[in-house]
């Protein structure tokens, strides 16, 4: 099989050249989320045309890398559309914030450790948030920040609304 990916492709996705297809998929989703329109981490750092150019480079790099790593398992193929298009950016009617965040995280290919590394929130707290296990969470002032950062990393457009909704659920559960 002829390799089509270059060292630069691996550099664009911040991957070692011996990465697995799963590592490539996760790196692709991380980079897409990092440079998504409205992502707080890069919002003021680059102009929209630069952002689109970077996103295009990420897409091309992933296509070449995934082509080289392809085997016959479906997870090796590039996604037909971005997870943002597949997964809603707000919870559905009757859906709790915790399960919504878990589904969104999983659809982007993140582990709880990935989120903990990016947000500096302990994995145990993230687990409690997803499970809506309110008694294992610290004071609401901390939880507000945890949810805000969790939502931001997942590319949710209005993390403050998600944070407020979670705190509302938390307060209702304590009554």
Query: What is the mean pLDDT for each group of 10 consecutive residues in the chain (175 residues)?
Result: 77 88 85 80 80 86 78 36 50 82 90 89 95 94 92 87 92 81
Report the pLDDT value the prediction gives residue 83, as an integer from 0 to 100. Answer: 42
Whether 154 and 108 have beta carbons less than 8 Å apart is answered as yes
Question: For the whole model, what pTM was predicted?
Answer: 0.52
Q: Rounded to whole angstroms, how far apart are CA atoms 173 and 75?
A: 39
Report the pLDDT value the prediction gives residue 123, as an integer from 0 to 100. Answer: 94
Report the pLDDT value the prediction gives residue 61, as an integer from 0 to 100. Answer: 87
Report the pLDDT value the prediction gives residue 162, as an integer from 0 to 100. Answer: 93
Distances (CA, A) of 62 to 30, 45, 50, 55: 12, 23, 18, 11
Count of CB atoms within 10 A of residue 152's CB?
A: 21
Report the pLDDT value the prediction gives residue 82, as an integer from 0 to 100. Answer: 44
Report the pLDDT value the prediction gives residue 75, as an integer from 0 to 100. Answer: 39
Whether 35 and 54 have beta carbons less than 8 Å apart is answered as yes
Chain mean position to CA 101 = 10
The size of the chain, in residues, is 175
DSSP-derived letter for residue 134 is G
Whether 120 and 146 have beta carbons less than 8 Å apart is answered as no
């Amino acid at each position: 099989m002829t390799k089509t990916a270059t060292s630069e492709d691996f550099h664009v996705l911040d991957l070692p050249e011996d990465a697995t297809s799963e590592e490539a998929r996760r790196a692709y989703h991380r980079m897409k989320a990092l440079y998504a329109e409205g992502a707080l981490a890069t919002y003021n750092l680059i102009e929209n045309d630069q952002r689109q150019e970077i996103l295009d480079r990420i897409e091309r790099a992933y296509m070449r890398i995934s082509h080289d790593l392809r085997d016959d398992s479906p997870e090796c193929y590039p996604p037909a559309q971005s997870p943002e298009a597949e997964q809603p950016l707000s919870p559905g009617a009757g859906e709790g914030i915790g399960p919504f965040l878990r589904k969104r995280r999983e659809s982007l290919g993140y582990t709880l450790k990935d989120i903990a590394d990016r947000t500096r929130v302990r994995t145990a707290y993230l687990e409690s948030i997803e499970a809506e296990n309110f008694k294992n969470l610290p004071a609401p002032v901390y939880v507000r920040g945890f949810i805000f950062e969790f939502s931001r990393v997942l590319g949710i457009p209005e993390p403050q609304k998600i944070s407020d909704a979670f705190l509302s659920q938390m307060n209702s559960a304590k009554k």
